[in-house]
């Protein structure tokens, strides 16, 4: 899972208050002189926790939070209001504008040669239809040259064009590996590779998928139909439109396979599409920033970080509703257990992460005083399950601080976390990079990654039911404890960077994109 050396953190302390451990379900007691840690545990790991209620409102009632959508604005206002109701100063900060878009319904039906309601939706920012539209489906072939593509283009008028390759199986790789014969497993692997390589080569010959889609649109197609399977049972990646004037539709692996096979075998598939969306023009986009002011050194900062925006193929539950709720809950806990921190504790709920870490990059550009005074930023952005891995990101002395902090965190939380010391800086991934690239200490609190990447990352399965709430409580409690301990630490984390392997350089910052490109 991780390439760099991992050093497992194991700390034990003597349980001096057994009655507290028994009452609160702690197998290990807390240091007798740290009442704040005890209060954080009691608020975060017991029935006082509010993570499930917060998640239910964010994911079920508000739903997905695509940049520039009314849902995103509703989430921003709700998060801001929740903080203020807890007595935490919070507000929204505009960092730019984006393409405003409101998703309506998408109804997709196969009407010939048989009737079936298909599992699919519009891609983000896609145009809709003016009422129901019916038409035949044609499969875009592989082209050897641009000339061949242009010769084919007049045939697309009045048709839906399937522009993705046809997966030979929608059965998960784990199922194949567990149940298939070695011969059929190897055969399927060769077939998948050859299909993908041939399709990729064909796209290169015509300038790529975006250029091809624009040309198909200009040639009078009714819409483009795509599929991007996530290599898991029923999981499909759903991103943004390929077109400006006609619908871009995503179908599940199995339903795309159905219409593609029918088209390929010339069995006359006809689709009926009724898709509604509203283009809202250029709209303002925001971060939410909350603050608990430091009492002793307010010009130094501990930052809790998570992006609030999401793709909108589902509810944006594990990317990144869980991170958002985790940091909200951590701040709620801190306000009760640690209302007068030494350093200022900030929380940032970023917009535009899915478009390239835009909100956090804009915040770092607009608030150099936070970057210069940053003690530590703790960012979370991948799924459910417990935090199990924290990389020191190449900051040479960060491990010493984490060692002191973890000696005070109950082993129920710290005992299963691996610390990578000194680690190397990442090259992308999430909003901690907006601070690392400026030489400020940013850390990713990482949960189990492969399960998230396969099944819920940017998929139509990223919904409330996938959350493991015991682990979300654990993670919020961890974040609150780290913020408290970093705030109280008598020493600043040194920005000293380790010597990187030959040929590697510290990541560079990219300017924040402040408006929708094009």
At residue 121, the 3 state secondary structure works out as: strand
Residue owning tokens 């993908």 = 196
According to the 3-state scheme, what is the secondary structure of 365-432? HHCHHHHHCEEEEEECCCCCCCEEEEECCCECCHHHHHHHHHCCCCHHHHCCCEEECCCCCCCCCCCC
pLDDT value of residue 424: 93
Cα 312 to Cα 316: distance, rounded to the nearest angstrom: 7
Q: In this structure, what are the phi and psi dihedrals at residue 143, rounded to the nearest 5 degrees? A: -110, 140
Contact 221, 157 (CB under 8 A): yes
Cα 355 to Cα 418: distance, rounded to the nearest angstrom: 30
Contact 485, 34 (CB under 8 A): no
* 430-467 as b/e: b if 16+ CB within 10 A: bbbbbbbbbbbbbbbbbbbbebbbbbbbbbbbbbbebb
pLDDT value of residue 6: 38
Cα 74 to Cα 279: distance, rounded to the nearest angstrom: 17
For each of the chain's 518 residues, which pLDDT tens digit applies? 333 333 333 333 223 233 333 344 444 445 447 999 999 999 999 999 999 999 999 999 999 999 999 999 999 999 999 999 999 999 999 999 999 999 999 999 999 999 999 999 999 999 999 999 999 999 999 999 999 999 999 999 999 999 999 999 999 999 999 999 999 999 999 999 999 999 999 999 999 999 999 999 999 999 999 999 999 999 999 999 999 999 999 999 999 999 999 999 999 999 999 999 999 999 999 999 999 999 999 999 999 999 999 999 999 999 999 999 999 999 999 999 999 999 999 999 999 999 999 999 999 999 999 999 999 999 999 878 999 999 999 999 999 999 999 999 999 999 999 999 999 999 888 999 999 999 999 999 999 989 999 999 999 999 999 999 999 999 999 999 999 999 999 999 999 999 998 889 999 999 999 999 97
Residue owning tokens 């590697």 = 504
- The structural domains of the chain, ordered by start, are 48-100+282-384+430-488 (3.40.630.10), 114-268 (3.50.30.30)
Contact 323, 353 (CB under 8 A): no
Prior bond of 186 cis (ω within 30°)? no
Cα 321 to Cα 433: distance, rounded to the nearest angstrom: 19
The continuous run of DSSP H or E covering 489 comes out as: none
DSSP tag of 57: I
Residue owning tokens 């408290």 = 484
At residue 319, the 3 state secondary structure works out as: helix
| Angle at which helices 322-337 and 469-488 cross, to 10° | 50
Contact 98, 515 (CB under 8 A): yes
Contact 55, 464 (CB under 8 A): yes
The pTM assigned to this predicted structure is 0.93
Cα 454 to Cα 458: distance, rounded to the nearest angstrom: 9
**Nearest alpha carbon to residue 355 among 168, 514, 158:** 514
């Amino acid at each position: 899972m991780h390439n760099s050396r991992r050093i497992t953190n194991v700390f034990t302390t003597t349980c001096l208050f057994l009655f507290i451990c028994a009452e609160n379900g702690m197998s290990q007691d807390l240091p007798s002189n740290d009442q704040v840690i005890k209060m954080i545990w009691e608020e975060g790991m017991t029935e006082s926790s509010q993570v499930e209620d917060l998640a239910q409102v964010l994911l079920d009632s508000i739903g997905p939070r695509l940049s520039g959508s009314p849902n995103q604005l509703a989430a921003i206002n709700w998060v801001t209001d929740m903080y203020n109701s807890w007595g935490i100063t919070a507000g929204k900060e505009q960092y730019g504008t984006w393409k405003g878009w409101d998703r309506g319904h998408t109804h997709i039906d196969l009407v010939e040669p048989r009737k079936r309601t298909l599992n699919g939706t519009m891609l983000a920012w896609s145009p809709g239809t003016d009422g129901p539209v019916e038409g035949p489906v044609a499969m875009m072939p592989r082209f050897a040259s641009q000339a061949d593509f242009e010769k084919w283009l007049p045939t697309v008028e009045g048709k839906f064009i399937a522009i993705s390759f046809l997966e030979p199986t929608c059965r998960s790789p784990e199922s194949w590996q567990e149940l298939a014969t070695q011969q059929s497993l190897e055969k399927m692997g060769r077939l998948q590779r050859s299909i993908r390589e041939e399709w990729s080569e064909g796209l290169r010959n015509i300038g790529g998928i975006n250029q091809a889609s624009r040309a198909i649109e200009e040639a009078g197609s009714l819409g483009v139909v795509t599929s991007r399977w996530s290599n898991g049972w029923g999981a499909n990646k759903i991103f943004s439109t390929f077109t400006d004037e006609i619908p871009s539709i995503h179908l599940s692996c199995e339903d795309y396979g159905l219409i593609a096979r029918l088209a390929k075998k010339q069995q006359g598939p006809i689709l009926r599409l009724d898709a509604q969306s509203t283009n809202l023009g250029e709209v303002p986009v925001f971060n939410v920033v909350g603050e608990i002011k430091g009492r002793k050194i307010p010009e130094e900062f501990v930052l809790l970080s998570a992006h609030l925006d999401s793709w909108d193929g589902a509810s944006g539950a594990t990317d990144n509703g869980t991170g958002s709720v985790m940091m909200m809950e951590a701040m709620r806990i801190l306000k009760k257990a640690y209302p007068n921190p030494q350093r200022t504790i900030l929380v940032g709920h970023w917009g535009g992460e899915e478009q390239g870490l835009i909100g956090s990059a804009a915040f770092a550009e607009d608030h150099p005083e936070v970057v210069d005074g940053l003690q530590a930023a703790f960012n979370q952005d991948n799924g459910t399950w417990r935090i199990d891995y924290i990389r020191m990101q190449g900051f040479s002395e960060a491990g010493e601080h984490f060692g002191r902090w973890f000696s005070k965190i109950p082993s129920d939380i710290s005992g299963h976390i691996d610390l990578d010391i000194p680690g190397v800086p990442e090259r992308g991934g999430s909003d901690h990079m907006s601070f690392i690239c400026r030489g400020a200490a940013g850390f990713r609190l990482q949960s189990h990654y492969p399960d998230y990447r396969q099944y819920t990352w940017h998929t139509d399965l990223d919904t409330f039911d996938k959350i493991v709430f015991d682990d979300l409580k654990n993670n919020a409690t961890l974040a609150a404890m780290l913020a408290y301990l970093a705030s109280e630490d008598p020493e600043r984390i040194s920005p000293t960077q380790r010597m990187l392997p030959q040929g590697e350089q510290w990541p560079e910052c990219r300017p924040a994109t402040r408006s929708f490109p094009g």
